[in-house]
Amino acid sequence: MAINTFINGGPNITLFVCILMLITKLPVGLCNAQSVVPALYMLGDSLVDVGNNNYLPLSIAKANFPHNGVDYRDAKFTGRFSNGENAADFIAKKMGLQTSPPYLSLVNGATPPITGVSFASGGSGILNETGQNYVEYISLAHQVDYLSMVHDKLVQQLGPSTAKMHLSKSIFTIVIGSNDLLVYFSPGSSIINISTPQQYIERMLSSYKGLLKTLYGLGARKVVVTGAAAIGCCPVQRKTSRTGECNVETNYWSNKYNDGLKIMLQELKSESVGLNFAYFDLYGAMIDLFRKAQNYGFTNIKEACCGLGNLNADAPCIPTSRYCPNRRDHVFWDLFHPTESAASIFSDFIYNGTQEYMVPINLKQLIDI
């Protein structure tokens, strides 16, 4: 079969890579014949962290203890900020892949699996300083640096042309931005004295564009980008209201950032030959979920399942916290993060949602390009 058939044949690239792995004696066990893409590379924050922060000794943004993971396999706490699986797991499953392992779990320079790696880190943001309150974290810029190292190893493994083909068919998912906004609007934030919300958002977008250009230079051609959440509706923000309502100002600026992000992505696509985006309107999906909670099976949209105090949002989910007996009826697991059930719904939107939430295409359509 001609090489250009593989290049243009969508999922056939996986077969080609599997054959190549047999010939070159690369780790065949990492190749999933049922996958629809060769690899999933995950970047972002705690919404998709699958354990990178476990390997950061000084980080205080960790979830590798109970009650996290209470609904995970064998009730295992893995470093996911969830009662079970998170969006990274669900997205991988939809593509027939195993969850991409944490990059920092690859000890002693081990060869990264050819099916992808996760660089996501709890507390991370677009701006390098966003996670500084958590002492140790992997900023988005640092995640891109790690991806560059994986790129170099792929070139060594597969050769330049096959590595380029592999990356062009792979999916790069980026879930980031909410922490930057939460830091700005946190009580006592000093950033407010340095820049206006609009200036801060413009700085976020400028930094993000530069990092996306770097990703493009490393071979990324199919990118899923998630907008900022309706962060004013997280329990930690709701608790500032006597009635537990969403923080209107915080949500307003989340929306403004998302508007700017969509424009920036359109500009970048026009400047970058072969680059395609699938943008997920997480903000809109969250608001819809709140309005139609019962349709989705939720009865509690305000309170964290695991925590202490007002709306269970006065303390994070730690071993001494209490947690709700039925996680399925809660949207939020802790102060910030969705339950496994809510993450599953958002992942469904990403994979095959309509243009109400996925612009201009969904993940399934992105894969087929």
Q: Among 46, 118, 254, 341, which one carries the catalytic annotation?
A: 46
CA-CA distance, 183 to 201, in Å (whole number)?
12
For residue 82, what are its two tokens?
Answer: 């969830």
CA-CA distance, 284 to 41, in Å (whole number)?
25
178 is catalytic: no
**Do 32 and 98 touch, CB atoms closer than 8 A?**
yes
**Do 126 and 177 touch, CB atoms closer than 8 A?**
yes
334 is catalytic: yes
337 is catalytic: yes
CA-CA distance, 327 to 281, in Å (whole number)?
24
Taking alpha carbons only, the member of 214, 203, 88, 205 closest to residue 145 is 214
Q: Among 49, 334, 341, 347, which one carries the catalytic annotation?
A: 334
CA-CA distance, 28 to 263, in Å (whole number)?
41
For residue 196, what are its two tokens?
Answer: 């206006």
DSSP state of 52: G
Rounded alpha-carbon distances, angstroms, from residue 242 to 16, 239, 245, 247: 59, 7, 8, 11
Q: Which residue in this structure is represented by tokens 């949002």?
A: 313
Instruction: Enumerate residues 6+ apart whose C-beta is below 8 A from 213.
Output: 268, 272
Q: Among 67, 166, 330, 337, which one carries the catalytic annotation?
A: 337
CA-CA distance, 103 to 134, in Å (whole number)?
19
Q: 40-44 and 306-307: which strand pairing?
A: unpaired
- Give the residue numbers marked as catalytic: 46, 334, 337
